[in-house]
Amino acid sequence: MPYSYLVLGAGRQGIAAAYDLARFGEASRVTLADFNRERALAAADRVNYLVRNKIADAIELDVRDENASRSALKGYNVALSAVPYFYNLALTRAAIETGVSFCDLGGNTDIVRRQHALDPEARNAGVSVVPDCGMGPGMGNNLAVYAMELVGDPGKCISTMAVCRRSHNNLGTTR
Lowest-confidence range among 3-7, 106-110, 129-133, 153-157? 153-157
State the average pLDDT for the chain. 88
What is the CATH architecture assignment of 3-133?
3-Layer(aba) Sandwich (3.40)
Query: Bigger pLDDT: 143 or 22?
Result: 22
Q: In 3-state terms, what secondary structure has residue 102?
A: strand
Give Dmax over CA atoms of the chain in angstroms: 66
Each residue's pLDDT tens digit, 119-147:
999 999 999 999 998 876 666 777 777 88
**The pLDDT of residue 32 is above 70:** yes
Q: Which residues of 114-150 are buried (b: 16+ CB within 10 A; e: fewer)?
A: ebeebeeebeebebebebbbbeebbeeeeebeeeeee
In DSSP notation, 49-60 reads HHHTS--EEEEE
CA atoms of 173 and 46, how far apart (whole Å) = 53
Angle at CA of residue 113, ends 107 and 118, nearest 5°: 120
CB atoms within 10 A of CB 163: 13
Q: How many percent of the chain have pLDDT more than 70?
A: 84
Query: Number of C-alpha atoms within 13 angstroms, CB side, residue 91?
Result: 33
pTM of this prediction?
A: 0.80
Q: How many percent of the chain have pLDDT more than 90?
A: 74
**The pLDDT of residue 173 is above 60:** no
Domain assignments of the chain as residue spans, ordered by start: 3-133, 135-175
The mean per-residue pLDDT over the stretch 140-165 comes to 66
Lowest-confidence range among 24-28, 51-55, 78-82, 105-109? 105-109
* Residue 173 buriedness (CB in 10 A; 0-12 / 13-18 / 19+): exposed
CA atoms of 167 and 175, how far apart (whole Å) = 6
Identify which of 99, 10, 102 has the alpha carbon closest to the alpha carbon of residue 59. 10
